[in-house]
Structures are given as C-alpha cells and as structure tokens.
A and B are shown apart, each in its own frame.
Chain A
Amino acid sequence: MPCERKPMRYGHSEGHTDVCFDEKGKCILTCGSDGDVRIWESLDDDDPKSINVGEKTYSLTLKNGKLVTAVSNNTVQIHTFPDGDPDGILTRFTATANHVTFNHSGTRVAAGSSDFLVKVVEVADSSQQKTLRGHDAPVLSVNFDPKEEFLASSSCDGSVVVWNIDEQVQVTSWNVLQKSSDVTNAKSLCRLAWQPQFGKLLAVPVETSVHLYERNTWSLVSSLSDDFITQAINVVVWSPCGRFLAAGTIGGYLTIWDVGTKLCVERQKHEKGYTVCGMAWHPSGGQIAYTDTEGCLSLLDGLATTSHSTATPQQHASSAKVKESKETKDYDDLFDEDDGRFLDEEASESPVKKSALGEDEDDDDDDLMPATGRPRHRSSFLDDDDNSQDTGSVALDRLGAADDASSAVEPLGPSAVAAVTRPMYEGPLPTPPQRPFQPGSTPTHLMHRFMVWNSVGIVRGYNDEQDNAIDVEFHDTAVHHAMHLTNALAHTMADLSQEAVLLACVSTDELASKLQCLHFSSWDTNKEWMLDLPKGEDAQALCLGQGWGAVGTSALLVRLFSVGGVQREVFSLPGPVVCMAGHGEQLLIAFHRGTGFDGDQALGVQLLQLGGRKRQVIQGEPLPLSRKSYLAWLGFTAEGTPCCIDSEGVVRLLNRSLGNTWTPVCNTREHCKGKSDHYWVVGIHENPQQLRCIPCKGSRFPPTLPRPAVGILPFNLPLCQVATEKGQMEEQYWRSVLFQNHYGFLSSSGYEIDEEGQSQAHKEQQELLMKMFALSCKLEREFRCVELAEMMTHSVLTLAIRYASRSRRMGLAQRLGELALEKANQEQPPQHQEEEEEPNYTSRHAGQSRSRTPQQSRREEQEEEEEDEEETQEEQMDTEEVAESRKPRVNPFKKGSASPERASPKTVSTASKEARVNPFKMSGPAKQSASPAGRAASVLDTMTTANRKPAASATTGSKQSKSPVLKPLVPRPKSKTQATLLQMSSRTASKKQEKPQQEVEERGKEKEPATERLKQAQEATSPASAGDNQENRR
C-alpha cells in the first residue's frame, strides 16, 4: 500500500500520548502527559489550539462535539469541542482511568480504570452508569462493539473480556496477555478494536501478532503477524472500511494488513524507533495519525484504502516485487541506503541475524518509499485490468450492505486470487552489494572518524559544527610532522603512504569529484596537486603505492597517477570497485564480480604488478569470503603479500606458492571475549608474524577518542587437532612455510631481502620437520616418517637417517637413505645453503639427548683415529658421499653404515682434494664433485655464522681442516655441562653401539671390498672424533 510517512513533529512533552480524529476528519486531536489536548488543523499546523484539561491526560475520545478525556485526578471529563470549555465530569474512579472510548453513536462512553473497573456512562445523563466488575488488575483498554451489544476490555491480569453491556456479564474471556501488576509495567497497552460497521471481528494485540476473534462464536479466526514485528504491539486500529487493520508496536513499527488476505500491505518504521502509543485512522481512510511515547505526532498519508481498494492485491505483489526491483535499481541507491546501514548498524548485531533479516529490513526501513514509487505506477495501470474482472469498489459497497459472515473475507476473493497467482519469488535472495570503502577507515557518517589507519600513520576526519578538518599523523615522526588541513572540499576518502596523502571527495551538484594529493615528500616547493574527475564520475576508492596512486571510480575505471600528478594508465574494471590497496609496485583491487545471494558477496580480485614488467598477477578471480560476510579490509602485509579480512574476522593471506590461493591465517573473532566485540585490523606483518589490530568492545570499529591502542594477535592456520603435539607442529610448520613465501616473491621482484630472517625461517621449518620426524618415529609411524623426510632438505635428512638408525629402525633408515640419494641428485644446487644450517640442527638434535649418534661414534674410534690426518678424512667423506649417491642400489652397505654416513658433510671439498679422493670413487663421476668444488668458497663464507653455533662434529671436522681460522670457534659455544652430559651419555651408549657397527662391517664385507668398508667406518667416525677431540682437549 503506497503511503507517505510524514516527518515526526513535536506534539507534547515526553510521555504517554493518545490521538484521535474528529468525526469529519478535519482536525487531529492529541493529548499527552503535559495535560493538554491539542487540536491540529493539519500536521503542518504551527499553532495548534491547546486546551488544558488536567495535569496529565491518559486518553481522549471525541464525538458529537464532546471531548472526553481521562485525566490524572481519577476523573473522566467532558469538554466542548471545538471551544474547549469544561462541560463537567462524566465519572470518577478511585484510580486513574486508562482508556476512554465513545460508542458508535456517541451516546455512551466506556472507561477502563486502574481500580479494575470498567464503567459505561450515558453522556447525556452521567448518573446512568453501568459498572462491569470482573477484572483482577488495572484495565488497559475498552472498546465498544459497533452494534453496542458488547464491550471488550483488556486488563493487566492478562485477560481480554467481552461483556454484554446490558446484562453486565462476561460473555467470554481469553487469557492471552502477559500479566503485569500495573499499567506502567504492562508490556503492551493492548488497545482493542472491533471491526467497524458490524463488529464481525475483534482485533486483540497479543505480543507480536494480532488475534482476530469472531463475533458470537468467539473463536480465534486468524492471527496477523509480520516478521518485522519483534516487539509487542501496542495499538491496533481498523480502517473505516473495515478491510485493513493497522498496528503500532513498541519498537515503532507501523504495519497494515489486509484482513481478507492476511497479507501485510504496508510497513513503516517510526523514524526514531520510538514506541507508538496512539493511532487513529482518518474517517475517510486515507491517513493514519500516530503518536509516540516521546510526545511526537505524525501521519501516514496517502493510504489508498477505499478509493483504491482493488489495487491492494497488486500491492502485495508489488511489495514482493520490491525485492526484485532492488536488483534493477541503481547500485548507488543501494550503496547509500542499504549498505550504509548494513555496515554500520549491523555492527552491533549478530551477523547471522543480519543475513537473515538484513536485506528485507533494510528495504523496509528506508527504502520502501523509493521502492514503492514504482509499484504505485504498476498498480494503477493494473487497476483497469482488475476492474474489468471484478469491481472491487462495488464489492466494498456490497460489504456495507451485506451483513454476512463471509462478507468480511469474500469480496476480496478474486483479487486475492490474483495476488496469489502472481508468482512470488522464493529462491535465494540477492545480497545488496557492499559499498565501496577504504581499508582501515571507519564509517563515513561518523562526525569523528578515521579516514585511514595504516602502517604509515593515521588520517582522521572531523566534521562537526565547529570544524571540518583532516588531521594527518604519522606513526614515525621521522617521516613527516603531523598535518592539519581544513576539509573545504568535504573529502571522504584518504590514503597515506611514506610519500604522500591522497584525498578524494565525491561530486556535488556544482563540483566535480576531486582528487587531492599532498605530496609532502616532494623536493620542489609545490607539495600539493589537485585533479577533477570527469563530470558524472565519482571517486569511490583510492590507494597509494610507491611513486604512484590509483583511484577507482563509479565509471568502472581505475585511473593511475604518478605521485607527482602525471596521469598514467587508465583501465576498466569488470565490476563496481569495492576497495583498492597499493604496496610498492603492486595494486590490489576488489570489485563486485556479480550479485551474491543469501547474504554472500560476489567479489573478484585483481592484482597488478605496475613496476618494470607490468602484468596482471591475478586476473579477476573470485575473492573467497566467509559465508554471509562482506569484505572488511583489503591490503598488503608489510612484506607485500596481499591479504583480506572479511566481516567474520577471518584473515586470508595470498599463498603465492600454491597458485595464488587464499589461505586463512587467523580468525580474529576467536580472540574476542564478547559476542559483539571485534578487532579492527590496522596492519599485518609476516616477519615477525603479527596481526596488528585494535580491540573494539561492542563495535566493529574504534572511536577516535580516547585514542585506541593497538594490540597484536598471533596467526593460526586452521589445521585440525592443533591441541595435539602433532597438530601443533604441523600448524607451525605450514605457517612458517606460508609466511616465508614473501622472501621468494621479494627476491624475484628484485628487492633485497632479509637473508638472516629467511634462513631463520628455513631453519625453523627444518627443525620442526625433524621434531615431527622424531615424534612419528616414537609413534612407530615409519611411513609418515618417510613422508616427512621427503619435505626435508638433504642435510636434515641425513640427521633423520642417523636418528632412525640410532633408534634401531634400520628399515626406515634404509628407505631414508634411498631418499637421500634421490635428493642429493636433485638438490645439487641448493646444497650449500643447507650446509650452513646443518650444524645447528645437529646441536639441537644432540641437545635433545635422544640421538647421541655423533658422540657415540666419536668415542668409539677416538683413539685409533687420532693420528689420522684430518684432511684425508675429509676426502674420504667426500668420496663416500658421491659414491653413495651414484650407487642407489648398493643399499645393504648403506643400511649398516647409516650412522657413519650421517656424520659426513656433503659437499665441502676443493678441487685439489678432489684429485686425491679419486681412488675410492671409482663409480662416482668426476663432474659431481666438480660442481661443489666451485661452491666451496662461498660455503665457507656463509658458514661463519652457522659455525658459531655448537657445531656438529662432522661439519666442524671438515671445516677445521680447511680454515684454521675457524678452528677455535667451533666448540666454544657448547656449554661445558652440555658437553659432559653428552659425553656421559655417549659413553654409556658406546658399548651398545659397537655391536651394530660390527654387524655393519660384516655385512659390508659380503659385497664390498673390505678396504672400502674400513674407510667408510673411518671416515664416519673420524670427523666426529676430531670434533670430540677438541672438546676433550678443552
């Protein structure tokens, strides 16, 4: 039903109010807690006539020039209308009367009072009173049946009673209301209403629905409800024609139903959501006047009840169409209306509820007006159609004539059918597309807001009476001092980088949308430039990168600028922009790639590389978001990995090593204490792993004052069973892998990288792998061990092999040996890097005292090996290594010698040594050892840091031989206690150790020449002994 909601205007002081029309509908009468009755010529009447009737007025009614009011001195008074002269007291109670009402003819007045009584008084002769006793609590409301046979009353005792007036007895009663002790405590005023004309139906507001009871049978015929009514209904009124029923609720909803079809034909919301406590339908049916508990008065105008009655079914349809029309409506409208609410108001609401109700609610709050504009045309043009089939207005006349039970429902038949046949769309509902936003900003409607908060600084916007200004503040004052600008252009968007501040405003009637850049890092004197966008094009999102800026506009364009103001490339977007982010030479754009359904957003994302070789890295692929959520933040980590956060608080990071997929790395909601608490993210760092965000209590975003403090959240991959040790380590491992992706990206795009950090991360990963390996070993999961080993680098793999054989898993060690060979073949190039890490692992490993391998072997052959020259040992090692890798099938020998082999470092050899080594390396081709030879120098260079760590005997031994300078460094960091501990443990273990060693040797003899066997044993132990010797010497 099309109607216009007039703005609220002040009527009375705060408190309970009531409203009625005079019989001709010329004026509106209101009463309020200020004790006045005001007579309004119209809603726009600036000088209403005021009649003071008492201290407080609770209710009023008017008929035949007599104004009856219930006032606070427990009386029901009469005043003349329109003069307002006192005309005596109609009746008195021992408590205040809560509701007074005239009968249809205006001869009698019924009043319900807080002293539990209902009185029916003749207006002409106030001595003729009938008292209806029976309620056990204050009476809330009374209403005459239009035929004056019955009177209905509701009371705080929870009952609704129908009385026979003449006999003064209860005809029937329903206990449907909530009990309360007093009117002030009552949930609802429970104003009853009989259907006009014949009183066929009695409407009773029961909680959030209206019950319709049929006359005579007093049975519940139907109940009218609406999804949007969430709070109790206070008042119900019938249209004069009796076809429509309007209800006003505590929450400020005004709902009109067509009683015939039971469909809601109109919904309006009180502009401030105050409780509606008085409603009156204009005698002609075209208006509803209503008042609220704040003393304000307003109208719903243009209700087409009688004149357009046939049109209403179409209006049902059209109200259903509202949703569809939404799709066709211009996006911008929705942006401005729906999504503003969506984003702001929903902040405190639970998101699930939002998604269920969100769009409809939005529709009805504000959008019904624009939306109904369309259906109105529609209904009028369909009118002709329907009139030809069935003249609704005639039907209504008939309704007047026929005193028939069916008449209330029947005449609507054909048109109701029409309404039903019109297909109602019941599939998934489209989600209003979310509005463009700046990442790190708070909603634009706030007077004091953050226009952006990022890793560089904060831009705050103030827009209040005194000031319209922008404050720019830098976290690091070394970048630039704080700035204060007047915001004459009303900029709403901002971005901040180390070089510039970019601001933009939308167009107004006269002015085009403008872009303003404060290029504070410029070395010339002009620190500012400004640019107008073409007419009709509005800036919607902007971002700054290094040396460039970009703006996404309503014309689906992205315009690039240099930071100095040179216009650069322009390109089209596949959909309306949502937000943009820049970092270095990367530009990340989120846009609407289509319509989402059922609360989901359909966003796409583009990632462009603007520097050097310009290319598109991600070509408009869908951006994954949680169900029923929208994008809340988009940006880059400090290291330059794209990242997005949705309204459910899930942080997703682009995984460049897995085909540019998005991996959830954190759920900020898991860290929230309260349901409505959120974290407002301001920055993400990969090294160290930090999610910098501001905890917001009870809202989605922080206020500007008091100044919010930044907190740090950890990342957590959503892996399974993170409570277990295994799950934890897996999570740590994969997180570490994910968060070091940026090294690869940075180095590939030519940035210098923090190599120490990278090697640290690498080390951490290998360490975790080793731990997992040990855990799996303990759990006797050998297959899993091999799987883990596959992820290890070669050097760590040797440790794993050592570990396996020490824990007497020869089968496993053998498999790992095979694996190691494969790896050695594949991984020739990166070996030197791994090399430098190895010492650390060994030490850690040894520290765990699970694997005492190196020491054991060391002790064992310490004496005999002492005279051996270190150099030769090393050579042997090399040969062994190579030989191994070239003989994948010579397993038996390796199986046994797993421990010695472990002790051998891989590729530390020089060309000169190479030559000597050869005798043992019959099968090993020369080229293999040649390649490491070239690397040797660099290995030594990089090794220095690693060497400082408590070094494993193997590597140290080899190194000592080469660079005497390093020698003293080697064992030093190893604390004495540790060393002794290890030695002790190795002593105990050494005896045990001897056996397998011998076995190995025996087995080895079967297939290999004894000499080689010996050498292996030697080389395995000798480096160890060398290392150990040193320790001992100390």
Chain B
Amino acid sequence: MDPSEVEFLAEKEMVQIIPNFSLDKVYLIGGDLGPFNPGLPVQVPVWLALNLKQRQKCRIVPPEWMDVQKLEEIREQERREETFTPIPSPYYMELTKLLLNHAADNIPKADEIRTLVKDIWDTRIAKLRLSIDSFISHQEAHAKLDNLTLMEINTTRSFLLDSLNSMYKLRSNTQPGSAAEKTMDY
C-alpha cells in the first residue's frame, strides 16, 4: 500500500468545521452532510474540510487529541512503555500532516503539535524497527502488532515481507547443511 493510499483512507475521517456559508443538507453516496449553517460546527470528512478550507469557506476545528498537552502525555507514555500504546486516532500522522499543512492557522500551537507528533512517530517507528530486529534474530514465527496504525505498518511491510522472503529462500538453500551452519546464518 502506498502512503498516498493510506492518506486517501485517512481523508474519510470526520472532522469538525465551522462553515461561513449556508447550505442545505448535501446528499452523497457516503452519507448525508450538513446542513451547513454559518458559525455552527458541523462534522464533515477531512477531504471536504480541506477543500472548503482551501476555498476559505470554513474554519477547521482541530480534533480533540490535537492538543499540546494531550500529545505530550501520549509521547511520554509512548517513551515509557515497551509496547505500542493506543493512539487517539488511527490516522494521527496523516491527519496531522493534512490539517497542519492546510489549516495551520486554525490550530493553536501548530508547530509544537507538529514536533510532538513527529516525536511520537519516531518513537513508535524506532520501537517497530527494534521489534522487527528481534523478531528476525529470534526467528519468531509470528508477532503481535497491537495498536499499530496503518501508516506505520506500511512503512515496513513491503520491505519486511520481501526480505523475509529472500531470507527464507537463502535459508532453504542452506537447509541441507549442518545445524551449525544454520545457526551461523546470522
């Protein structure tokens, strides 16, 4: 899966906007949106929010978790714990990117949030790498990937699968060899 595909999925997440125009309910295949009343918050998908924002038709209300204090807590927890901690949104990275790139003026302390989310991301990716490393070195058969977001999985999936495949090939080639050889593989 491409990162852009994941982002596409993320755009289906709902976000609150405050429109500055008035429009009746919009009936779409994916569901009804609106009605839009100027000044009154309404839930719309991110793609629409961004579109409206770009046309200066609305203000975006940042999601509840997009808050310096909450993110700091999450970061600390993420650093403290060995395993992956639950994340407020399955698309936190994508949403942060999207919203901060297009609506930074509607999000208080945008820079801090960007840094914090990046920190969380880095921590989690580092954990992921570490666990993959131990996964391979211990030749485990399966691993639990709780609380991993789609984007995070996708950063390593293709590479990991390919390398596991080639390792498997290499290993099966060396299979006839002695046990000692096998262990010396790594």
Contact = CB atoms under 8 A, between A and B. Distances in A.
Interface of A: 455, 457, 474-478, 682, 692, 705-707, 709-712
B41 A710 contact: yes
Contacts of B20: 474-477
B38 A711 contact: no
B135 interface: no
A474 B22 CA distance: 12
Given A475-B39, A476-B22, A692-B40, A709 B16 contact: yes
B38 A706 contact: no
A706 B21 contact: no
A706 B40 contact: no
B39 A710 contact: yes
A457 B59 CA distance: 14
A710 B40 contact: yes
B104 interface: no
B18 A709 contact: yes
Interface in B1-44: 16, 18, 20-22, 37-41
B21 A710 contact: no
Contact of B59 (A455, A705, A707): A707
Contacts of B86: none
A476 B41 contact: no
Contacts of B40: 692, 710, 712
A474 B57 CA distance: 12
A692 B38 CA distance: 12
A476 B22 CA distance: 7
A475 B38 contact: yes
Contact of B21 (A477, A682, A711): A477
A13 B57 CA distance: 54
A680 to B, nearest CB: 14
Contacts of B16: 709
A200 B167 CA distance: 99
A817 B61 CA distance: 58
A711 B43 CA distance: 12
B88 to A, nearest CB: 18
B39 A709 contact: no
B66 to A, nearest CB: 12
B39 A706 contact: no
A705 B109 CA distance: 12
Given A476-B39, A707-B59, 7 more contacts: A474-B20, A475-B38, A477-B20, A478-B22, A705-B108, A709-B41, A712-B40
A475 B37 CA distance: 9
B61 A476 contact: no
A874 B2 CA distance: 69
Contacts of A712: 40
A709 B17 CA distance: 10
Nearest to B22: A476
Contacts of A692: 39-40
Contacts of A474: 20, 38
A457 B61 CA distance: 18
Contacts of B56: 477
A117 B143 CA distance: 70
Contact residues of B: prevailing secondary structure: loop
Given A455-B39, A475-B39, A692-B40, A709 B61 contact: yes
A773 to B, nearest CB: 33
A709 B40 CA distance: 8
Nearest to B59: A707
A855 to B, nearest CB: 34
Nearest to A705: B108
B124 to A, nearest CB: 28
Interface in B48-84: 56-57, 59, 61
Contacts of A682: 39
Contacts of B39: 455, 457, 475-476, 682, 692, 710
A705 to B, nearest CB: 8
Contacts of B59: 707
Most central of B20, B22, B56 by chain A CB within 10 Å: B20
A706 B22 contact: no
Contacts of A457: 39
Nearest to B20: A477
A485 to B, nearest CB: 20
9 contacts: A457-B39, A474-B20, A474-B38, A475-B38, A476-B38, A477-B56, A705-B108, A709-B18, A710-B18
Contacts of B21: 476-478
Contacts of A711: 41
Interface in B98-138: 108
A682 B41 CA distance: 13
A375 to B, nearest CB: 52
A692 B59 CA distance: 18
A920 to B, nearest CB: 50
A849 to B, nearest CB: 29
A457 B38 CA distance: 9
Contacts of B18: 709-710
B45 to A, nearest CB: 19
Nearest to B58: A477
A22 to B, nearest CB: 54
A189 B38 CA distance: 59
Contacts of A706: 108
Contacts of A475: 20, 37-39
B21 to A, nearest CB: 6
A711 B59 CA distance: 15
A637 to B, nearest CB: 14
A475 B41 CA distance: 11
B53 to A, nearest CB: 13
Most central of B40, B59, B108 by chain A CB within 10 Å: B40
A705 B107 CA distance: 11
Nearest to B39: A475
Contacts of A710: 18, 39-41
A706 B61 CA distance: 11
Nearest to A692: B40
Nearest to B106: A707
A476 B37 CA distance: 8
A608 to B, nearest CB: 28
B37 to A, nearest CB: 8
Contacts of B108: 705-706
Nearest to B108: A706
Interface in B137-167: none
Nearest to B35: A688
B30 to A, nearest CB: 23
B136 to A, nearest CB: 47
A709 B60 CA distance: 10
Contacts of A477: 20-21, 38, 56-57
B58 to A, nearest CB: 10
A507 B16 CA distance: 44
Nearest to B16: A709
Contacts of A705: 108
Nearest to A453: B39
A705 B59 CA distance: 14
**5 closest pairs, A vs B, by CB?**
A475-B39, A475-B38, A476-B38, A477-B20, A706-B108
A715 to B, nearest CB: 16
A707 B107 CA distance: 10
Nearest to B57: A477
A457 B37 CA distance: 12
Nearest to A706: B108
Contacts of A709: 16, 18, 41, 61
A711 B39 CA distance: 10
A314 to B, nearest CB: 58
